[in-house]
């Protein structure tokens, strides 16, 4: 049991180090305004093309229900990849929740949070995080790698803006605030 816990801790540290290294490399290759919250990735360089249909996937929600991204066709979707151990994710979550509460019905969009559960200590930690931030938008559990590879996620938080036709319009790396959310969501059809 101690070996397993030690192995998990080492894996989490490796993921953190890799994420930090990749982020630094991306930062070096882009000029980023000092006050920037999140920055948009050139989709053509990442392998996902602007206007491409968002790859469909099936994951379980925190409550154990099956969720298919394709079920949201006809709605604008903010697809956010995150983890409880990620400091920028912690910064972003209150903004996501507040924007969702205020504008989801009015602007006909949904925020979907995909937790990288395979990098977490436990599902209980995810539940505690969701409860502490009082998140009400759908939270999905990615218990094995796969969807992150499908969306070519290198750094979290990572957010995709998907229009009502199910097409990717933007990929933002880094935390979003309400102003940036409004800007991106208002530009979706």
**Backbone angles phi and psi of 118, in degrees to 5:** -65, -10
- Smallest CA-to-CA distance from 80 within 8, 13, 165, 180 is with 180
**Which one, of 168, 121, 119, lies nearest residue 148 by Cα?**
119
Quickly state the pLDDT bin for 3 (edges 50, 70, 90): confident
Q: What percent of the chain has pLDDT over 90?
A: 65
Which residues are annotated as catalytic?
Answer: 89
Which pLDDT does position 38 carry in this prediction? 58
Local confidence band at 61 (pLDDT 50, 70, 90 cut-offs): very high
b/e per residue 140-173 (b: at least 16 CB within 10 A): bbbeeeebbeebebbbbbbbbbbbeebbbbbbbb
The pLDDT of residue 170 is 93
Q: What's the pLDDT tens digit per position in 65-107?
A: 999 999 998 999 999 999 999 999 999 999 999 999 998 888 8
CA distances from 130 to 79, 127, 135, 168 (A): 16, 5, 5, 26
| Cβ within 8 Å of residue 146, ≥6 positions away | 57
pLDDT-derived band at 33, boundaries 50, 70, 90 = very low
Domain 2-186 carries which CATH code? 3.40.30.10
Spatial strand order of the sheet with 158-162 comes to: 39-40, 168-173, 158-162, 76-82, 109-115, 139-141, 58-61, 66-68
């Amino acid at each position: 049991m101690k070996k397993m816990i030690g192995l998990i801790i080492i894996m989490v540290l490796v993921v953190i180090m890799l994420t930090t290294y990749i982020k630094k490399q991306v930062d070096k290759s882009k000029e980023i305004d000092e006050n920037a919250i999140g920055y948009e990735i050139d989709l053509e360089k990442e392998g996902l093309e602007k206007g491409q249909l968002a790859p469909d996937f099936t994951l379980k929600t925190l409550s154990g229900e099956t969720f298919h991204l394709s079920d949201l066709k006809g709605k604008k979707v903010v697809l956010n990849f995150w983890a409880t151990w990620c400091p920028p994710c912690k910064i972003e979550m209150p903004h996501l929740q507040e924007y969702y509460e205020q504008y989801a019905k009015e602007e006909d969009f949904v925020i979907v949070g995909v937790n990288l559960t395979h990098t977490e200590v436990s599902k209980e930690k995810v539940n505690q995080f969701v409860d502490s931030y009082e998140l009400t938008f759908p939270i999905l559990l990615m218990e094995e790698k796969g969807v992150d590879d499908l969306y070519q996620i290198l750094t979290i938080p990572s957010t995709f803006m998907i229009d009502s036709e199910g097409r990717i319009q933007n990929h933002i790396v880094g935390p979003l605030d309400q102003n940036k959310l409004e800007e991106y969501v208002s530009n979706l059809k």
